[in-house]
Amino acid sequence: MSETIFDKIISREIPADIVYEDDISLAFKDINPQAPVHFLVIPKKRIATINDIAKEDREVVGHLSWVAAKVAGEMGIAQEGFRTVMNCNEFGGQSVYHIHLHVLGGKLLGWPPYTDKPKNLE
Ligand code: DGP
């Protein structure tokens, strides 16, 4: 699979507002926030979509949720609550083909999400 913009963020070729980093993952603020708090948690390992998660990647992918909750707690949104989303392929609204967990919070979020007019159907 080919390199994406997220590889350039991992390697610091392009800047991002990084909120957490360890050997396995990186978390940074979304450039186009959809909530008062919106950051992404990505694995450093390049995995294109949820469909490409291998059995040996399970620990890495689980780690992303642990990071999401840790950073959400540090940002003060964990108690009120937040949402994690991982989009997959075109119908899921995926635009960057390096898996990423969206973490959204800081306001009451609408549910179900598809009642909002999706940008890809405008
Ligand atoms: P998705 O549509 O689920 O693939 O989400 C991709 C997200 O990545 C989208 O919400 C915007 C964000 N994004 C894309 N390019 C950049 C970038 O260069 N920097 C940052 N911080 N976020 C980006």
Question: Structural domain boundaries of the chain?
Answer: 5-121
Q: Span 5-121: which CATH code?
A: 3.30.428.10
Rounded to two decimals, the pTM is 0.95
pLDDT at 87 over 70: yes
Q: Write down the mean pLDDT value for the chain.
A: 94
Whole-angstrom CA distances from 70 to 3, 64, 76 are 28, 10, 10
Ligand 1 atom closest to residue 94's alpha carbon, by position in its atom list: 4
Task: Kindly name the residue from 38, 98, 100, 102 that is annotated as catalytic.
Answer: 100
Q: How many angstroms separate the most distant Cα atoms in the chain?
A: 39
User: Residue 25, SS3?
Assistant: strand
Which whole number is the average pLDDT over 90-117? 90
d(CA 54, CA 64): 15
Burial class (CB in 10 A: 0-12, 13-18, 19+), 28: buried
pLDDT at 115 over 70: no
